[in-house]
Amino acid sequence: MRSFDPQGGPARDAFLQLFPGRVGVAAVGLSDYVFPLFPGEEVAIVKAVAKRRVEFSAGRHCARLAMTQLGYPASVLPSGADRAPVWPSGLTGSITHSAGVCAAVVAPCRHFLSIGIDMEPIDAVPAELADEVLRPDEIAPRGPPIRLDGVDWLTLHFCLKEAAYKAFYPRFQNIISFQEMRVEVDPRSREYLAEAQIGGKNAVPPFHGRFLVRDGRVYAACW
Ligand SMILES: CC(C)(COP(=O)(O)OP(=O)(O)OC[C@H]1O[C@@H](n2cnc3c(N)ncnc32)[C@H](O)[C@@H]1OP(=O)(O)O)[C@@H](O)C(=O)NCCC(=O)NCCS
């Protein structure tokens, strides 16, 4: 496989730090390079534009590097229903790409039932989306806009919910909206709880997560 791209280093370090247990983590900077795909993966991007081919192939490349870090063979990773990757037996994982970087985290199922990751540049989410992303019980109290370690409240919640959704979906196969995902942030520990609520009730036990802000990006991990 092609050598590791150093632009992915900060994302790799962030996700390694966020997970409470042994995980495989790889990240690369995105260029115009399309990494080789395994048979059965191409179908997911057969009609895709060049940018999407680059990010999809980088995700597969990172996932395979992460698998080998855990002692597993580099395996095919097809896209399943609703785009969720179909992880090899015994493994779970998650992929994210954002603003020129792609990262994948892979974990043994005996340690994590499912995981989700996301990263966003701070101030990535426009204020017009606040009503869609934030539930009434997540809106910050009146006063100056809240920032935590430099990230705005809206982008933080967007990122935490996307990571939680990626952990939630493979187990429950249910598309849910931002309003159906309730997030409770502990600003001191930089940890969060995410509850998927359907019909006003908690659909499943809560997911746990952590986040950190570094070099203009927020990184979230959920399990
Ligand atoms: C998956 C999703 C949350 C983020 O996708 P995105 O904006 O492209 O952002 P990212 O680059 O960070 O993540 C994409 C990767 O997530 C993974 N992914 C996609 N759908 C997934 C799903 N249903 N479950 C788990 N992982 C999924 C894939 O690996 C994908 O990359 P790939 O297609 O190259 O393999 C979004 O596309 C989606 O499906 N949203 C619908 C539900 C939602 O947003 N609800 C609100 C949050 S609760």
208 vs 75: CA distance, rounded Å: 28
Record the tokens describing residue 46, joined without a space: 């057969």
Which of 95, 113, 174, 181 to probe ligand 1 with, by most ligand atoms within 8 A of CB?
Answer: 95
- CB distance 137 to 182 below 8 Å: yes
Residue 142: per-residue pLDDT: 61
Amino acid identity of 58? A
CB 151, CB 218: distance < 8 Å: yes
Ligand 1 environment, Cβ below 6 A:
55-56, 59, 79, 82-85, 95-98, 118, 161-162, 165-166, 169-170, 175-178, 181
30, 125, 129, 162: residue to mutate for ligand 1 pocket, most atoms within 8 A of CB: 162
Dihedral in degrees, nearest 10, Cα atoms 31, 36, 41, 44: 30
What distance in angstroms lies between residue 144's CA and the mean position of ligand 1's atoms?
A: 32
Distance 7 CA to ligand 1 centre (A): 22
User: If you compute the radius of gyration of the chain from its CA atoms, what whole number of angstroms results?
Assistant: 17
Q: Please give the pLDDT value at position 41.
A: 96
Q: Of 1, 19, 18, whose CA–CA distance to 108 is shortest?
A: 19
Instruction: Look up the pTM and report it.
Output: 0.95
Partnered with residue 27 across adjacent β-strands are: 103
3 state SS of 188: coil
Give residue 1's pLDDT: 46
How many CB atoms are closer than 10 A to CB 46? 7
Tens-digit pLDDT string for the chain (223 aa): 444 555 789 999 999 999 998 999 999 999 999 999 999 999 999 999 999 999 999 999 999 999 999 999 999 999 997 899 999 999 999 999 999 999 999 999 999 999 999 999 999 999 999 999 999 999 876 666 689 999 999 999 999 999 999 999 998 888 999 999 999 999 999 999 999 987 777 778 899 999 999 989 999 999 9
pLDDT score at 144: 62
Nearest in space to 167 (alpha carbons), one of 156, 153, 155, 183: 183
Gap between the Cα atoms of 11 and 58, Å rounded:
14
CA distance 214 to 216: 6
pLDDT for the residue numbered 204 = 83
